[in-house]
Amino acid sequence: MRSYEVRQAHLMPADAAAYRPFFFHTRDFVLRNGEVPSTYTLLVHVDGEVFVRCHIALLTHEAVSLPKASFGGFDLHPDCTVEDLVYAIEALKNFCAEKHLPHIRIISYPECYDSFSTQIIHEALIQCGASVLYTDLSQYVIIGRDTFDELIDPDERRHLNFARKQRWSFWQESSEMLADAFDLIVNSREAKGYPVTMTFEELSRAFSQFPDRYMLFSMRDELGKMVSVSVCIHVNEEVLYDFYHGDDLEWRKHSPVVPLISGLYNYARTHGYSLMDLG
């Protein structure tokens, strides 16, 4: 038997997760800025067990899951069916209609995170009359037995060998180095024409709030100068997300991000991740 409930997110029990949620689906992340009365959580129960969870923010002209996050969408129990999710989506549509918000925008996680659930989500949304507004292409690396050298092309291997000859080294940095790293990221992204979606204050607060989720890594030259950096997020036990990275423009012709990604790959192998999301 199915049933559902919708509550303000801060009133939802802390343990009301469907199944090993991604970080951006957790209650702690959703409430990172305190109680937000306009953010709600939908739970669908099947025979008393949580099968679907979705956080939704009610904005001026639409409902979004989730704004100011890498993604939102549906957190599914492994036994969730298309029919279960259709029930959840119709409940969500009815709730938003009651709030005079007929438009709902779902920002889902990359398919590589969970291809089985992605297929269920896509099919259920289409059945409920949804349409795909846009699709982002994801770059990712499957973490396996192969070494990083075996996965890359000759040009990338040349940059990796250059870093080794220059005695560059991979570091996991403390948050005390975040300001220097952020400057490197901003300069690098601006040079490529990419926006920086968080301020330093916001990123610093994220490191303070979630020290077990946000990590800072670098590649340093022989003199100890950072030539490339990465802010990574522990999405769950299986996924390591390279959220931001940047490199020193003086070294760009030698692609210092390549040895940085090599270091991240080795870190991910050592710590049991199965996927590294490169954005």
Average pLDDT of span 143-163: 94
Average pLDDT of span 20-33: 90
pLDDT digits (tens, 9 = 90+) for 123-139: 999 999 999 888 888 89
**Which region, left, alpha or beta, applies to residue 224 given φ > 0 means left and ψ of -120 to 50 means alpha?**
left
Q: What is the pLDDT of residue 110?
A: 94
| Closest by Cα among 251, 183, 184, 174 to 208 | 174
| Structure-token pair, residue 149 | 């050298």
pLDDT digits (tens, 9 = 90+) for 189-233: 999 888 899 999 999 999 999 999 999 999 999 999 999 999 999
Q: What is the pLDDT of residue 37?
A: 87
Average pLDDT of span 99-127: 95
Percent of the chain with pLDDT over 70: 97
Average pLDDT of span 150-167: 95
Q: What is the pLDDT of residue 18?
A: 53
Residue 15 has pLDDT above 70, yes or no: no
Percent of the chain with pLDDT over 90: 87
